[in-house]
Amino acid sequence: MVRWMCNVKQKDRVLSKDLRERLGIDDMILILQQNRLRRYGHVLQKEDIDWVKKCMEYEVEGSRPRGRPKRTWREVVQKDCQACNLNRKDAMDCGRWKKLIKIGWWVDECLFWYQLIRVVPDKGL
């Protein structure tokens, strides 16, 4: 769709990143990261007795099947928070959390950490 909007064919060898910059479109990874962090902030601001917060903090007993375990939502959100240098205390202040997760001021820093995390995976995963 982006290539069609810019009237560029694949044989022209133009990077998708350059086309998104031309149109002023944010990277999809960053948009998904922002949405996860926004939802995480909502969950953290709920009371401890709320079922949504209980579900997030629930640990399933028993062993996992063989092979590499699937990533949980909580693990992905923790990586996002680590990449953007955010913590739980920040989420308690609603206005501050909104400013911190907005795409813009932290994009370059998050992209750097996201690429670093993808290149150097955790030993536990």
Domain ranges in the chain?
Answer: 26-55+71-125
Residue 105 has, within 13 A of its CA and on its CB side, a CA count of: 6
> Which tokens is 23 given?
């149109």
100 in the Ramachandran plot: left (φ > 0), alpha (ψ -120 to 50) or beta? alpha
pLDDT digits (tens, 9 = 90+) for 66-118: 898 888 888 899 998 888 888 888 888 888 888 888 865 555 555 555 555 55
Q: Quote the distance between the C-alpha of residue 102 and its chain's center.
A: 12
pLDDT digits (tens, 9 = 90+) for 17-60: 888 888 888 788 888 888 999 999 999 888 988 998 888 888 88
Say what the pTM is.
0.67
